[in-house]
Amino acid sequence: MTLTETPAPASAAAADAPAPRYYAYVDDRPDLIARAGVIVLLAGTAVLYLWGLSASGYANAFYSAAAQAGSTNLEAWFFGSLDGGNSITVDKPPAAIWLMALSVRLFGLSSWSILVPEALLGVASVGVLYATLRRTLLAQRGSPGATHPLTPRTAHWAALAGAAVFALTPVATLMFRFNNPDALLVFSLVLAGYFTVRAAENASRGWLALAGVAVGLGFLTKMLQAFLVLPALVVAYAVAAPAPWRKRIVDLLVAFAAMVASFGWYVAVVELTPANMRPYIGGSQGNSLLELIVSYNGLGRITGEEIGSVGGGRWGSTGLTRLFEGVSGGMVSWLIPAALVLGLSALGVAVAGLRGAPAPGGDERRTPARALASGAVIWVGWLVVTGLVFSLMAGIYHDYYTVALAPAIGGAVALGGAVLWARRGRLVPRLVLAATTAGTGAWAVVLLQQAGGWYSALGWVVLALSVLAAAGLAVADRVPRVVASLAVGTAVIAALAGPYAYSVNTAATAHTGSIVTAGPVSGLGSGRGGPNGGRPTGRAPDRGTGGLLNGASASSELVALLQADGSSYTWVAATVGSQNAASYQLATGLPVMAIGGFNGSDPSPTLAQFQADVAQGRVHYFIAGDTGGRRNGGSDSSGEIADWVAQHYTATTVAGSTVYDLTTAA
């Protein structure tokens, strides 16, 4: 990579003053070996994320049903409706559903058309992270204080290792093979990181605005969770961009405006559309998208006051150890300690470089430090802020949320490892690398012991390799280069062996329902996992009446009943809970009304509204069910409707399911 000197524009009044210098990065073209390495990484990631994908069926039926509805109905597609009759939306923004619905529209409804978009987003995310890390590391070739040159090939291998850490984090393998919105969220945030690095290189307002748009896309995917990376992105640009403070502040304000515009248009359209002209906003108690943003999917997740949620207190204990215990530990924590140590080391080197007095060459000597500062702040800040929120949030917490940490872990490990390697002529960097390697091996033993069986034996092998690698790294500057390189390679293999084993187990396991976990240790919530011998971590759908999290199993007899003359009705059936409704809808291919939304606690429809729909002949059947669980407030309209149906219509049993024909009163 070379640095191209570009004079900044000067005003007429300052024409005689020396122009400040900015430096644009021009990447060296990677050599054939580097290109082959990238191809192998992306191809291997694609195989891991795509192989046997259809074994999970429709995965989370909640989102699959919305994709099916959106593929046939434009209104359902735009608003993210669960059903083609547009009764109620899912409880998230629709960006991820837009992609899945388009895939279903193009290729027909199938497991592959639902899940392939997420897998491809995973491969793309790994590629973007590699490009981001390589760009930052190439700037370190002239880094002051380095005792060994960080060559383009070394930068390439370090970036490749960081991207591999991301790809093989078990929770990433899980969520890029699943149809929750997290895949698109992670992709949009990794893209925002890349744009911010580009912006910080030359104080580019355009690149920073693109970062804002990428975060806005994340907002349209999972609302306020996308904002958890904002502190890191803002600080990274503020400390690293080579421009006066006034310009940096204006640039950040422009990027903020671009971010708000990129999602604000959708919020405005939904809020300004009359309620009788759109579906009910699922997850809210007042049919408001703003309420959903601020309450159920916002502050309620922090405080635990998600009105209408089910299962209060089942989400595990909060605390700084949450990410390291039980299921979350095996899904994401393998390299978190290493990421913190190495990432903070890189940040320290960057700060020291920025504080040092410019030597001959002026601000050009600060360029490596600025580049390293932007990268280190992004990945360390991302990891710390998001990790703390996940650790301390008192509301709904699922272990798979931790996929949002995976890119930051890979980024911090790559930057810190490469920077310390370039300074291996000094004792402290060598000792930090050695201690981090040995510590990572020791933590892998703890995690692998939880799974038992052959995983326990793997743990001891990993520990032995880690100790050997640590010994080699401790004397890396005093042994032949080939020996030092072998120590680095051994350290990488040892660090990735456990995550790789868990990821392969995850890819070989079918996952269905709302709560899914990665690896051979499974359970609900933090700290309650236990060995399951590789059995599916998502429960099979409940038979007959169904349930809150995993829907219902529709028998062939029930499907035949619902499909008979089904096209004559807006909704072929109604049932309590979105997962139950989604199961019946996917089985029949016809709209099914989800009474009460996901938790059965939304006031949609009210009893009066449901009675009006029945009177107009818009609903054919009511299928009895029980969402179960303990509700945190919310509406009881679903219970009122169920009671009214039971009082006024005759129940029949179809293959274990209780069904009421709403066209024939008792």
- List of residues 6+ apart from 231 with CB closer than 8 A: 381, 385
What confidence score (pLDDT) does residue 119 get? 98
Q: Is residue 282 part of a domain?
A: yes
What confidence score (pLDDT) does residue 363 get? 47
Could you tell me how far CA 490 lies from the centroid of its own chain?
A: 29
| Beta strands at 657-665 and 649-654: parallel, antiparallel or unpaired | antiparallel
Give yes or no: residues 150 and 298 share one domain: yes
Distance, CA of 138 to CA of 133 (rounded, Å): 9
Q: Is residue 537 part of a domain?
A: no
What confidence score (pLDDT) does residue 300 get? 87
What confidence score (pLDDT) does residue 356 get? 65
pLDDT at 626 over 70: no
Give yes or no: residues 26 and 175 share one domain: yes
Please name every residue paired with 573 in a beta bridge, in sequence order, or none if there are none.
Answer: 592, 621
Domain-ending residue, one of 425, 450, 474: 425
Confidence of residue 306 (pLDDT cuts 50, 70, 90): confident
C-alpha distances (whole Å) from 358 to each of 145, 203, 352, 354, 361 are 13, 19, 12, 9, 7
Q: How many CB atoms lie within 10 A of CB 6?
A: 12
What confidence score (pLDDT) does residue 496 get? 98
| Beta strands at 521-522 and 530-531: parallel, antiparallel or unpaired | antiparallel
Distance, CA of 179 to CA of 116 (rounded, Å): 9
Distance, CA of 608 to CA of 162 (rounded, Å): 57
Q: Is residue 502 part of a domain?
A: no
Domain-ending residue, one of 425, 449, 470: 425
Q: Which two tokens stand for residue 538?
A: 């998502």
- Tell me the chain's radius of gyration from C-alpha atoms: 27
Distance, CA of 381 to CA of 385 (rounded, Å): 6
pLDDT digit string, tens, across residues 460-488: 999 999 999 999 999 999 999 999 999 99
Q: Which two tokens stand for residue 109?
A: 């409804």
Distance, CA of 35 to CA of 505 (rounded, Å): 29
SS (H, E, C) 74-124: HHHHHHCECCCCCCEECCCCCHHHHHHHHHHHHHCCCHHHHHHHHHHHHHH
Handedness of CA 605, 642, 547, 323 (dihedral sign): positive
What's the whole-number average pLDDT of the chain?
A: 89
Angle ∠(517,522,524) on CA atoms, nearest 5: 80
More confident residue, 151 or 392: 392
Task: Tell me which amino acid residue 73 is.
Answer: N
Q: Is residue 464 part of a domain?
A: no
What confidence score (pLDDT) does residue 366 get? 55
How many structural domains does the chain have? 2
What is the rounded average pLDDT of the residues 50-67? 96
Distance, CA of 634 to CA of 291 (rounded, Å): 13
**Structural domain harbouring 401:** 2-8+17-425
More confident residue, 603 or 147: 603
pLDDT at 370 over 50: yes
Q: How many CB atoms lie within 10 A of CB 354?
A: 14
What confidence score (pLDDT) does residue 230 get? 98
Q: Is residue 311 part of a domain?
A: yes
Q: Sheet holding 649-654: strands in order across?
A: 592-595, 571-576, 619-623, 657-665, 649-654
Using alpha carbons, select from 634, 585, 600, 605 the residue that is nearest to residue 87: 605
Domain-ending residue, one of 399, 425, 451: 425
The answer to whether residues 334 and 444 touch, using CB atoms and an 8 Å cutoff, is yes
Handedness of CA 532, 536, 541, 547 (dihedral sign): positive
Please name every residue paired with 47 in a beta bridge, in sequence order, or none if there are none.
Answer: none
Q: Is residue 434 part of a domain?
A: no
Using alpha carbons, select from 501, 522, 511, 585 the residue that is nearest to residue 549: 511
The answer to whether residues 589 and 109 touch, using CB atoms and an 8 Å cutoff, is yes
Distance, CA of 242 to CA of 20 (rounded, Å): 9
- List of residues 6+ apart from 108 with CB closer than 8 A: none
- List of residues 6+ apart from 425 with CB closer than 8 A: 147, 148, 477
Please provide residue 662's backbone torsions phi and psi, each rounded to the nearest 5 degrees.
-80, 0
Task: Tell me which amino acid residue 649 is.
Answer: Y
Give yes or no: residues 421 and 551 share one domain: no
Length of the chain in terms of residues written: 666
pLDDT digit string, tens, across residues 223-263: 999 999 999 999 999 999 999 999 999 999 999 999 999 99
Q: Is residue 491 part of a domain?
A: no
- List of residues 6+ apart from 352 with CB closer than 8 A: 145, 369
DSSP E strand stretches across 342-414: none
pLDDT digit string, tens, across residues 516-555: 999 998 754 333 333 333 333 443 333 344 566 677 788 9
pLDDT at 90 over 70: yes
Confidence of residue 147 (pLDDT cuts 50, 70, 90): confident
SS (H, E, C) 293-317: HHHHHHHHHHHCCCCCCECCCCCCC
Q: Which two tokens stand for residue 462?
A: 């990993």
Give yes or no: residues 107 and 241 share one domain: yes
Q: Is residue 503 part of a domain?
A: no
Angle ∠(148,151,155) on CA atoms, nearest 5: 110
